[in-house]
């Protein structure tokens, strides 16, 4: 009995570490850049709106499931403390029941978390397609695995069966790593998307202002060229970041040092957007 008590306690603290990580990194913000809508909406805009709505609903469901898990976690803690104090068969039975309940709730909230992550990744527009498909497949596999684990646990009732299911959960201990990798990709892709939108905007502004016909010594030409420089710097730093992301374990490192890693590109893009605003209002 003491061994089983130790095993259940070990599982609880492991589960707590998993969720302390997940709670910090979510709720995820939307990865979509809202487009200004023309009078006649295109299929692309409709698709974006549908994805945004799906992400909103998925985020809400995740939040609700996370709250339910926290409630079940409190019930488990109370049952564990009572068993530790009383050492009765009744308190042990209650602990097994509460352990099963919190484990089922854990599976459900992880499923919702991965589904939310999948939607955000699918909606991202700056991630290379082959990389996106690789991680989408990985998410699908883990979602399917968690659903099967939950279904199997639902049918178990004895202490040994529940403990066996808890041991089976060890196969999902790489979820933290996968989450860090995908969140790093999403963070970089947001900056990539801004750059991808800024580049054609700069060309349109140049055409509107007639930069190509301006004097070689004009302030307008110098302003346009300076804007090009900041965009080129952003492009170079983005390329460096994408190249770094392809190296082993680099995405986890990027995520854990996100501000430091993304700051050079952020500064370049921030300056570029400031310059673009000045160009639009150039006199």
**pLDDT tens across 203-226, in order?**
999 999 999 998 878 999 999 999
> Looking at the domain assignment, is residue 81 inside a domain?
yes
Separation in Å, CA 125 to CA 78, 171, 194: 46, 31, 10
> Looking at the domain assignment, is residue 112 inside a domain?
yes
Looking at the fold, whether 137 and 13 belong to one and the same domain comes out as yes
Under the banding of pLDDT at 50, 70 and 90, the label for residue 50 is confident
The pLDDT of residue 145 is 98
CA atoms within 13 A on the CB side of 52: 12
Under the banding of pLDDT at 50, 70 and 90, the label for residue 59 is very high
Looking at the fold, whether 149 and 245 belong to one and the same domain comes out as no
Looking at the fold, whether 38 and 132 belong to one and the same domain comes out as yes
Last-in-domain residue among 117, 139, 171: 171
Under the banding of pLDDT at 50, 70 and 90, the label for residue 18 is very low
> Looking at the domain assignment, is residue 163 inside a domain?
yes
> Which has the higher per-residue pLDDT, 34 or 123?
123
> Which has the higher per-residue pLDDT, 283 or 183?
183
Looking at the fold, whether 37 and 120 belong to one and the same domain comes out as yes
- Number of separate domains in the chain: 2
The pLDDT of residue 33 is 31
C-alpha closest to that of 62 among 98, 25, 33, 34: 25
The pLDDT of residue 8 is 55
Overall pTM surpassing 0.75 (yes/no): yes
The DSSP line for 10-63 is HHHHHHHHHHHHHHHH-SPPP-PPPPPPPSS--HHHHHHHHHHHHHHHHHHHHH
Cβ neighbours for 104, distance < 8 A, ≥ 6 positions apart:
150, 153, 154
Last-in-domain residue among 114, 140, 171: 171
> Looking at the domain assignment, is residue 85 inside a domain?
yes
> Looking at the domain assignment, is residue 201 inside a domain?
yes
For residue range 187-205, list pLDDT tens digits in order.
999 999 999 999 999 999 9
Looking at the fold, whether 17 and 132 belong to one and the same domain comes out as yes
Sign of CA dihedral 210, 215, 216, 218: negative
Judged against a pLDDT cut of 90, whether residue 24 lies above it is answered with: no
Last-in-domain residue among 122, 148, 171: 171
Residue 58 CA to residue 118 CA, distance in Å, equals: 10
Range of the domain at 201: 186-280
> Looking at the domain assignment, is residue 105 inside a domain?
yes
Segment 24-43 shows an average pLDDT of 40
Question: Could you give the percent of the chain with pLDDT greater than 90?
Answer: 78
The pLDDT of residue 29 is 38
The pLDDT of residue 42 is 63
Judged against a pLDDT cut of 70, whether residue 19 lies above it is answered with: no
Looking at the fold, whether 161 and 195 belong to one and the same domain comes out as no
Sign of CA dihedral 53, 56, 59, 65: negative
> Looking at the domain assignment, is residue 194 inside a domain?
yes
The pLDDT of residue 200 is 95
Looking at the fold, whether 113 and 81 belong to one and the same domain comes out as yes
Ramachandran region, residue 249 (left: φ > 0; alpha: ψ -120 to 50; beta: rest): left
Classify 174 as helix, strand or coil: coil
Under the banding of pLDDT at 50, 70 and 90, the label for residue 44 is low
Looking at the fold, whether 23 and 125 belong to one and the same domain comes out as yes
Looking at the fold, whether 8 and 147 belong to one and the same domain comes out as yes
For residue range 71-81, list pLDDT tens digits in order.
999 999 999 99
Q: Where are the alpha helices (DSSP H) in the chain?
A: 2-25, 43-86, 89-123, 129-154, 159-168, 175-209, 219-245, 250-256, 258-280
Judged against a pLDDT cut of 60, whether residue 262 lies above it is answered with: yes
Looking at the fold, whether 201 and 147 belong to one and the same domain comes out as no
> Looking at the domain assignment, is residue 103 inside a domain?
yes
Report the chain's mean pLDDT, rounded to a whole number.
87
Looking at the fold, whether 219 and 124 belong to one and the same domain comes out as no
The pLDDT of residue 216 is 79
Judged against a pLDDT cut of 60, whether residue 1 lies above it is answered with: no
Segment 243-263 shows an average pLDDT of 96
Looking at the fold, whether 39 and 89 belong to one and the same domain comes out as yes
Question: Could you give the percent of the chain with pLDDT greater than 70?
Answer: 84
C-alpha closest to that of 170 among 24, 14, 17: 14
Judged against a pLDDT cut of 50, whether residue 12 lies above it is answered with: no
Residue 235 CA to residue 191 CA, distance in Å, equals: 10
Label residues 181-219 b or e (16+ Cβ within 10 Å = b). Answer: bbbbbbbbbbbbbbbeebeeebeebbeebebeebeeeee
CA torsion 249-250-255-258 (nearest 10°) is: 160
The pLDDT of residue 27 is 38
């Amino acid at each position: 009995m003491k061994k089983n008590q130790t095993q259940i306690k070990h599982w609880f603290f492991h589960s707590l570490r998993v969720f302390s990580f997940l709670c910090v990194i979510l709720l995820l913000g939307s990865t979509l850049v809202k487009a200004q809508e023309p009078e006649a909406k295109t299929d692309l805009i409709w698709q974006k709106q549908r994805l945004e709505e799906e992400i909103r609903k998925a985020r809400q469901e995740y939040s609700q499931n996370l709250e339910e898990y926290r409630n079940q976690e409190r019930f488990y803690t109370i049952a564990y403390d009572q068993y530790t104090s009383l050492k009765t068969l009744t308190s042990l039975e209650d602990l097994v029941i509460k352990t099963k309940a919190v484990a089922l709730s854990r599976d459900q909230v992880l499923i919702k978390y991965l589904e939310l992550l999948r939607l955000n990744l699918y909606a991202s527009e700056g991630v290379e397609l082959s990389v996106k498909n690789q991680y989408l497949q990985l998410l699908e596999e883990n979602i399917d695995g968690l659903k099967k684990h939950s279904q199997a646990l639902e049918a178990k009732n004895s202490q040994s069966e529940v403990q066996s299911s808890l041991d089976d959960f060890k196969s999902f201990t790489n979820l933290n790593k996968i989450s860090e990798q995908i969140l790093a990709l999403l963070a970089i892709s947001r900056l990539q998307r801004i750059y991808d939108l800024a580049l054609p905007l700069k060309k349109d502004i140049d055409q509107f202002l007639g930069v190509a016909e301006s004097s070689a010594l004009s302030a307008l030409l110098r302003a346009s060229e300076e804007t090009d420089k900041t965009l080129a710097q952003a492009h170079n730093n983005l390329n460096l970041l994408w190249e770094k992301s392809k190296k082993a374990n680099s995405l986890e490192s990027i995520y854990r040092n996100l501000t430091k890693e993304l700051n050079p590109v952020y500064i370049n893009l921030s300056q570029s957007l400031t310059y673009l605003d000045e160009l639009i209002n150039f006199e």
